[in-house]
Amino acid sequence: MTSHFSLSRRHFMGGALSAAAFNALSHSAHAQAEATQHQPGIVTPQQPYIYFLTLDLPSDQKADLIALMKQWSEAATALMAGQARPDFPSPHEVASLKGAHLTLTFGFGPSIFLHDGKDRYGLLSRRPAALADLPHFNGDQLIAARSGGDLCIQSCADDPEAAFYAVRVLIHLAYGRVEPRWSQHGFLPHYSKTHTPRNLMGFKDGTINPNNHSPQEMRDIVWADPTACPWMAGGSYLVARQIRIALEHWDNMNVPFQEQTMGRQKYSGAPIGGTREHQPLTLKETDKDGNLLTAETAHARLAAPEENGGAQMLRRAYSYNNGLSYIAERWPPWRQGNEFDVGLLFLAYQKDPRTAFTKLFEKMAKFDMMNQFTTHIGSALFACPGIAPGRYVGATLLEE
């Protein structure tokens, strides 16, 4: 389902023709949905490394935004193909991109549509209803400097330097025309193509993810509804949350307590009382005293679709490690000091955040036992449109 941008330089330079073809096809939302391609890096099997960056735009001119997205789409095509260009810094490093399965995914934040109360690009009428600002969740401790952004770049690869290098090139090409806002690089601990990755808490993470090889599941869960917002045909909505994990505190808990908190067994990933990772959660089973095997407040229960009216999203989370930070802990003995600044860059793609992330997390933010060990410190939301054949990313939004 996922395809890399097919824009060769030649195709791109022939944009006028492609636009005509595109317009002919876009007479209905359905036709447009058929004609657009998905951006890579959404249902692409998760590569082990990410460099994620958001940025703000100093210019209020829509033409500047269009020029930027054209330039980036073209450069992204070259980078994903491992092609060096004279305007790339350290162009010999492009060689390292070959075989790294680099994907570059771009998103548009709510501030593209409304910034300090101003419709700066004249796009407000095109803002998708699904791109509603996220509500304040219980326990949120959001840092402005780690939240939001006019645009995002998600760069994923099999090699951490390839993921960073691609973003470095894009920022270099846009020197003086963009203001980087926040970034986070991440990784999948103990990555393997054949096993569910573990997070830094030592548990398998992503067991219940939908099947990204199933077009039907992806249509139901990931891809935006083109009738609700035609320019988002073939696109998806990205929720990004930076979630700090109090690792020293977690490491002081014994494994049975950790398992009760998670609602799964640590080594096998099996449900409590189960034997296999991929068997159904033990949501109704009780022990001999009549107590639920999987606690009411266990993380896995609160995240389960069957407990949330079927709400689902495609998780693409990465662990992060930012060294040490001075932390004031939120639990006894309320320790203050330099602690590991580690956690999860939670990324999730979905058809509509209002009925997926927001619905799921509103309950979890209140009841999840895991909240003793996790704090949401950053939040952002992006619309990642599909690509009309031969056009740049964002053409469907920026050119009617």
Least Å distance between CB 11 and a second copy? 28
Task: Indicate the residue among 342 and 384 with the shorter CB distance to a second copy.
Answer: 342
Q: Is there a contact between 108 and 381 (Cβ–Cβ < 8 Å)?
A: no
Which conformational region is residue 88 in: left (phi greater than 0), alpha (psi within -120 to 50 degrees), or beta? beta
The answer to whether the beta carbons of residues 28 and 233 sit under 8 Å apart is: no
Tokens of 185: 């690089």
Q: Which is nearer to a second copy, 229 or 370 (CB)?
A: 370
Residue whose CB is less far from a second copy, 9 or 335: 335
- Output 64 or 161, the one with its CB closest to a second copy: 161
Query: Looking at beta carbons only, is 82 or 139 nearer to a second copy?
Result: 82
**Do residues 149 and 280 make contact, with C-beta atoms less than 8 angstroms apart?**
no
243 to 99, 152, 330: CA distances (angstroms): 31, 18, 14
User: Do 305 and 312 touch, CB atoms closer than 8 A?
Assistant: yes
Q: Which spans of this chain sit near a second copy (rule: CB under 8 A)? A: 53, 89-90, 92-93, 96, 160-161, 164, 168, 171-172, 175, 179-185, 187, 189-190, 198, 201-202, 247-248, 250-252, 266-267, 321-324, 337-340
**Nearest CA among 173, 186, 163, 40 for reference residue 106:** 40
| Minimum CB distance to a second copy, residue 263 (Å) | 17
Q: Which is nearer to a second copy, 179 or 306 (CB)?
A: 179
Closest contact distance (angstroms) between CB of 133 and a second copy is 23
| Beta carbon of residue 323, minimum distance to a second copy (angstroms, whole number) | 4
User: What dihedral angle (degrees, nearest 10) is formed by the CA atoms of 242, 265, 258, 307?
Assistant: 60
Instruction: Output the smallest distance, CB 155 to a second copy, in A.
Output: 13
Q: How far is the CB of 6 from a second copy (least distance, A)?
A: 28
Q: Give the dihedral of Cα atoms 358, 362, 365, 367; nearest 10 deg.
A: -140
